[in-house]
Amino acid sequence: MKKLLTSSFAFSVLAVASIQGHSELALQSGQAKISWGSQDSLSKAKAIMYNNTDVSSNTRTTQTVSVAPQTNYQNNYQNSYSNNANSNWSNSSYYYANSKGALVVDALTGQVIYEKNADVARPIASISKVMTALVVSESGANMNDIVTVDSLDFKTPKKSGSDRLKVGDQMNRAEMLLMMLMKSENPAAKALARTDPLGYDGFMAKMNQKARDLGMTQTVFYDPSGLDARNVSSPRDLAILGRLAYRHNLISQFSTTPNRNFDVNNVSSGYRSISARSTNYMVRDGLYNIGFSKTGFIREAGNCVMFETNVNGRPSIVVLLGAPDSKTRWEDAENIISNLSMRRFT
């Protein structure tokens, strides 16, 4: 099942509100700032991230959620869908995954649809950046503050090269967050953590505390990018994180942006344009209805992906860890989506 979405991805980055004209991330020439529609500021993004604003797009309605312990989170999530989450699914199709770990969950009810080694913790590579994004979004830091990439941001457990970012590059925090989620830039993750109000060590403490608060008992983070193989989680833990990330407007929209051109200032060499695109081909090509996405790869983790897909009007969270190669990862993903299309509800 490969159908092109009937709804356009033109709203991709910041179009989570119905605004006259199209609302997207418009980078002003010679400036590093975001415009929302005709507004030359980040006020809308801040409202979404910090004020629990409910914002409708032309394809779906999403809501930010203030999350405390897991029990409150589950109750809030369930209550918000009380009108349409009561149906059960029946299934005659065949789910399988060649990835080492997998979990498919109904995003409305939390009901497990398919699982494989769902409670085995494995390295998760750049899927770590989902938690990084969540902590950034809840930090209260000004999204319009300029973040400068430092040489320290390239000093990571593994070599952290970049074909996009350089030492001295400057973007505001929201643009850095977009670059991290869409292009999976490791220096962007490190820069966001380093410039947190509590500093780098405080940021890492918040990542691990957030995991505990959500009930992610098999999860630990040692760096914000996922290059540290000690960053581990299980598919079941990541499904908890995925259900939250999907409902977080800015994370959802940023992680499903197909491509973007950034006008970036460098303190030494001045302005240049950076072209970047999503690491998920299903997002880049507009295949399927993907409401949240993050890929990952390091040698220890294999090929990983976590995403939300809405099939037949029903959202599901899919987690795949430890695929031996990229081809297997995407074959697993497409098989699962195909089987979801054959679900029937009673």
Does 2 fall in a domain? no
Does 270 fall in a domain? yes
- CATH number, domain with residue 15: 3.40.710.10
Structural domain boundaries, residue 193 = 9-345
E strands along 31-127, which residues?
A: 34-35, 55-56, 61-62, 89-90, 101-106, 112-116, 122-123
Q: Is 184 a catalytic residue?
A: yes
Does 1 fall in a domain? no
Give the helix/strand (H/E) hosting 258.
none
Rounded CA separation 106/91 (Å): 13
Per-position pLDDT tens, the chain of length 346? 443 333 332 323 332 222 222 223 333 333 333 333 323 335 555 454 444 443 333 233 222 222 222 333 333 333 333 333 444 544 545 888 999 999 999 999 999 999 999 999 999 999 999 999 999 999 988 999 999 999 999 987 776 567 789 999 999 999 999 999 999 999 999 999 999 999 999 999 999 999 999 999 999 999 999 999 999 999 999 999 999 999 898 899 999 999 999 999 999 999 999 999 999 999 999 989 999 999 999 999 999 999 999 998 899 999 999 999 999 999 999 999 999 998 876 5
Does 3 fall in a domain? no
Does 113 fall in a domain? yes
Rounded CA separation 318/183 (Å): 20
Global confidence as pTM: 0.78
Rounded CA separation 188/233 (Å): 22
Catalytic-role residue among 44, 100, 129, 183: 129
Catalytic-role residue among 126, 128, 137, 139: 126
CB within 8 Å of 250: residues ≥ 6 apart: 16, 45, 48, 49, 137, 174, 177
The answer to whether the CB of 15 falls within 8 A of the CB of 253 is: yes
Torsion sign over Cα 87, 88, 94, 95: positive
User: CA-CA-CA-CA torsion for 269, 275, 279, 281, nearest 10 degrees?
Assistant: -170
Q: What is the pLDDT of residue 43?
A: 55
Q: Is 23 a catalytic residue?
A: no
Task: Specify the number of domains making up the chain.
Answer: 1
In whole angstroms, how large is the CA radius of gyration of the chain?
Answer: 19
Catalytic-role residue among 99, 128, 184, 252: 184
How many residues can be counted in the chain?
A: 346
Closest CA to 78 of 100, 108, 101: 108
Q: Is 46 a catalytic residue?
A: no
The answer to whether the CB of 316 falls within 8 A of the CB of 107 is: yes
Task: Give Cα separations from 313 to 15, 120, 127, 146, 150 (angstroms).
Answer: 20, 30, 26, 40, 44
Does 252 fall in a domain? yes
Rounded CA separation 9/260 (Å): 12
Query: Bridge-partner residues for 148, per DSSP?
Result: 170
Does 278 fall in a domain? yes
Does 130 fall in a domain? yes
Rounded CA separation 302/98 (Å): 12
160: number of CA atoms within 13 Å, CB side? Answer: 29
User: CA-CA-CA-CA torsion for 99, 105, 107, 109, nearest 10 degrees?
Assistant: -170
